[in-house]
């Protein structure tokens, strides 16, 4: 499904719903009234710049939506506003006074609250305790249980969880309910500014409606709301103004009525591609890997694709669209799975029940989180490189031939250009880019030929990225089959021969190199989250827990 599909869906039920449940837009932007929160000249960079000279303002009683691609800087901006992160530069004022919170607590005391995207609840505490975690009602240290439960119940009713027992443990709830509890926690204290980061990611249509009722109530009470979401049609329903971020730069801020969906998409994309890394596609080789109907609900649903030798296949999609989960399922890292996997053009499926099986078949998974899943940080480069292929360095009874091990480790360190002073250097002392090269090296040393890269350039600076692109390019040219999962669409456009797009757990479209167009890919990535599909995705949330 391409852009046409998106248009069709937009023109359909969405419009009807928008009309029926439209919120009263505030008398937009009373000119002359001072903004509640104002930000200007905001800069922030980690390994790479994330926010560049961003300006943003929010009025009391306004819903200001923030949209942009993955990594555009939305969440970083939200975290800065909420005091979780400090900007490198920039000036912020709250109610006309300078505002520079150093901690979350300080921001909350001044009335700014963030409901984060990732769930931050503590599974072993009750719903009520989670809601009031940082201000539990107590007398001399004793928690006032009855008061706690009553207050929690009121808040739960507001978010539509009236039937939920506030005394049940959070870990027994589904993701959608947890998200609502998180929102209830956000509502638990009066605040002047409420930041909602992807609040509806796990919510069904009815739950979204309920949330919007609460947003309307807060708005009427004069709270300023920053609303971050990928779901553009929701934004059109609820926002008074919309700001579009792209690569850390504020593209535009306009009244919601002045922007159409298509305009928003167009503003979100459009960074020029670095010509130097553009891949020259060759005719694909024979089939290396064929996946049919791979499923691991709810994250992965009926994913089918094929991969050729000498090809780089990109996987695009939004956060949480099931790309990582698909790769882990394919690699046998998470069980059980349904579906069939065929290798080397064979018509007999192979059984992959563990990473061990996968590696034996020549698959390699380079995980998203290098430190936690890919590397032995305190151990030397040598030990990391040889880990998957250790038995090859032993001739008798598991005795390691250390000279051979050192030689091979040294060779790959050099071949991949890992910057280090010795192969005995501990991996934790290397930069992100060099660590990633070590991970690549460990699989090449094992002679794996189907390599799955999950976010290979995350946290890597620009120069090292370029190095890594060349490594990937050369691997494909030497006949290896590569899958690259990335949230950086530009990277995929430059690097891949084909791009598969996942949305809400399904593979929704595949584009050949000559069909590459950012807008079409982004539209496909958003397609699974539009109206009709939102309902079937989530479970009903009003069931009380036992």
Partner 1 sequence: MAQAQPDQLSSAHRLEWRRVLTDYLGMAVALGALIAVFSLSTEHFFSATTFRTIANQIPAAVLIATGMTLVLIMAEIDLSVGSVLGLCSAVLGVALTRWNWPAWAALLAALGAGLVCGAFNGIVSQAWRLPSFIVTLGMLEMARGGAHAVTNSQTQYIGPAIDWITSTELAGFSLPFVLAVLMVVVGQLVLTRTVFGRYLVAIGTNEEAVRLSGINPRPIKQVVFVLAGLLVALAAIIDTARFQSANPNAGIGFELQAIAAAVIGGTSLMGGRGSVVSTFFGVLIIAVLNSGLAAVGAKDEMKRLVTGAVIVVAVVVDQYRQQLARRTA
* Residue among 7 and 402 whose Cβ is closer to partner 1: 402
CB of 344 to partner 1, least distance (A): 18
* Tokens read off for 143: 């928690």
Q: How far apart are CA 233 and CA 67, in angstroms?
A: 11
Q: Which of 314, 246, 244 is nearest to 501 (CA)?
A: 314
Q: How far apart are CA 26 and CA 188, in angstroms?
A: 24
Q: Which of 363, 295, 290 is nearest to 329 (CA)?
A: 295
CB of 450 to partner 1, least distance (A): 13
Answer left, alpha or beta for residue 505, where phi above 0 means left and psi between -120 and 50 means alpha. Answer: left
CB of 397 to partner 1, least distance (A): 8
CB of 502 to partner 1, least distance (A): 21
* Residue among 60 and 329 whose Cβ is closer to partner 1: 329
CB of 443 to partner 1, least distance (A): 9
The whole-angstrom distance between residue 463's C-alpha and the CA centroid of its chain comes to 23
* Tokens read off for 471: 């490594």
Answer left, alpha or beta for residue 497, where phi above 0 means left and psi between -120 and 50 means alpha. Answer: alpha
* Residue among 348 and 421 whose Cβ is closer to partner 1: 421
CB of 481 to partner 1, least distance (A): 18
CB of 328 to partner 1, least distance (A): 9
* Residue among 223 and 413 whose Cβ is closer to partner 1: 413
DSSP structural state of residue 362: T
Tracing tokens 């249980």 back to the chain, one arrives at: 145
Reply yes or no: is the peptide bond before residue 298 cis, omega within 30 of 0.
yes
CB of 425 to partner 1, least distance (A): 7
* Residue among 316 and 359 whose Cβ is closer to partner 1: 359
CB of 296 to partner 1, least distance (A): 17
Q: How far apart are CA 170 and CA 455, in angstroms?
A: 31
Which H or E element spans position 234? helix 232-238
CB of 442 to partner 1, least distance (A): 7
Radius of gyration of the chain measured on its C-alpha atoms: 25
Distance between terminal CA atoms of the chain?
42
Q: Which of 452, 461, 537 is nearest to 503 (CA)?
A: 537
* Residue among 279 and 406 whose Cβ is closer to partner 1: 406
Q: How far apart are CA 523 and CA 546, in angstroms?
A: 41
Q: Which residues bind partner 1 (CB under 8 A)?
A: 331, 333, 354-356, 358-360, 365, 367, 372-379, 382-383, 387-388, 390-391, 393-394, 397-400, 402, 406-407, 410-411, 413-415, 421-426, 442, 446
Q: How far apart are CA 218 and CA 224, in angstroms?
A: 8
CB of 376 to partner 1, least distance (A): 4
* Residue among 257 and 354 whose Cβ is closer to partner 1: 354
CA torsion sign for 179, 369, 68, 523 is negative
* Residue among 134 and 424 whose Cβ is closer to partner 1: 424
Strands (E), 419-492: 450-454, 481-485
* Residue among 369 and 515 whose Cβ is closer to partner 1: 369
Judging by beta carbons within 10 Å of its beta carbon (0-12, 13-18, 19+), is residue 105 exposed, middle or buried? exposed
Q: How far apart are CA 376 and CA 386, in angstroms?
A: 11
The whole-angstrom distance between residue 514's C-alpha and the CA centroid of its chain comes to 27
CB of 172 to partner 1, least distance (A): 21
* Residue among 383 and 476 whose Cβ is closer to partner 1: 383
Starting at the edge strand that comes first in sequence, how are the strands of the sheet with 224-228 ordered?
Answer: 112-115, 193-197, 224-228, 63-67, 241-246, 249-255
Instruction: Give the 3-state DSSP-derived string for 323-348, with helices as H, strands as E and coil as C.
Output: HHHHHHHHCCCCCCCEEEEEECCCCC
* Residue among 13 and 432 whose Cβ is closer to partner 1: 432
* Residue among 43 and 361 whose Cβ is closer to partner 1: 361
């Amino acid at each position: 499904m391409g852009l046409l599909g998106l248009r069709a869906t937009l023109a359909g039920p969405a419009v009807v719903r928008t009309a029926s449940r439209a919120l009263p837009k505030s008398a937009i932007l009373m000119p002359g009234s001072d903004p509640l929160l104002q930000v200007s000249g905001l800069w922030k960079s980690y390994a790479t710049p994330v926010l560049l000279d961003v300006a943003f303002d929010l009025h009391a009683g306004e819903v200001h939506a923030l949209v942009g691609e993955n990594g555009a800087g939305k969440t970083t901006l939200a975290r800065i506003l909420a005091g979780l992160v400090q900007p490198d530069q920039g000036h912020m004022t709250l109610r006309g006074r300078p505002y520079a919170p150093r901690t979350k607590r300080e921001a909350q005391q001044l009335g700014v609250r963030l409901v984060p995207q990732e769930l931050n609840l503590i599974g072993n505490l009750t719903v009520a305790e989670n809601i009031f975690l940082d201000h539990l009602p107590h007398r001399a240290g004793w928690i006032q249980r009855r008061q706690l439960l009553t207050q929690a119940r009121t808040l739960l009713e507001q978010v539509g969880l009236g039937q939920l027992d506030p005394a049940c443990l959070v870990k027994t709830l589904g993701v959608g309910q947890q998200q609502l509890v998180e929102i209830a926690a956000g509502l638990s204290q009066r605040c002047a500014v409420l930041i909602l980061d992807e609040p509806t990611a796990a919510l069904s249509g009815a739950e979204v409606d309920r949330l919007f009722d609460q947003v309307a109530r807060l708005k009427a009470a004069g709270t300023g709301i920053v609303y971050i979401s990928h779901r553009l049609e929701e934004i059109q329903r609820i926002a008074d103004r919309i700001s579009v971020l792209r690569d850390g730069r504020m593209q535009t801020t306009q009244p919601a009525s002045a922007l159409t969906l298509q305009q928003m998409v167009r503003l979100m994309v459009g960074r020029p591609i670095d010509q130097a890394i553009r891949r020259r596609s060759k005719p694909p080789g024979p089939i290396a890997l064929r996946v049919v109907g791979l499923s691991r609900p709810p994250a992965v649903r009926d994913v089918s694709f094929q991969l050729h030798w000498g090809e780089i296949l990109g996987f695009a999609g939004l956060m949480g669209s099931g790309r990582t989960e698909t790769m882990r399922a394919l690699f046998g890292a998470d069980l059980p799975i349904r579906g069939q996997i065929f290798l080397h053009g064979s018509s007999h499926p192979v059984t992959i029940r563990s990473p061990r099986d996968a590696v034996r078949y020549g698959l390699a998974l380079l995980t998203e989180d290098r430190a936690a899943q890919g590397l032995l940080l305190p151990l030397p480069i040598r030990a990391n490189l040889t880990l998957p292929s250790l038995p090859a360095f032993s001739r008798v009874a598991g005795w390691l031939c250390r000279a051979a091990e050192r030689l091979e480790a040294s060779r790959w360190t050099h071949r991949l250009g890992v910057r280090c002073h010795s192969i005995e250097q501990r991996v934790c002392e290397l930069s992100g880019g060099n660590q990633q090269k070590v991970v690549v090296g460990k699989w090449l040393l094992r002679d794996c030929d189907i390599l799955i890269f999950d976010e290979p350039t995350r946290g890597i600076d620009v120069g090292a990225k370029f190095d890594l692109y060349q490594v990937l390019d050369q691997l494909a040219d030497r006949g290896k089959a590569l899958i690259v999962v990335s949230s950086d669409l530009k990277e995929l456009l430059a690097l891949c021969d084909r791009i598969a797009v996942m949305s809400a757990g399904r593979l929704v479209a595949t584009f050949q190199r000559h069909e590459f167009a950012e807008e079409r890919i982004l539209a496909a990535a958003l397609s699974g989250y539009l109206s009709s599909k939102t309902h079937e995705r989530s479970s009903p949330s009003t069931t009380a827990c036992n």
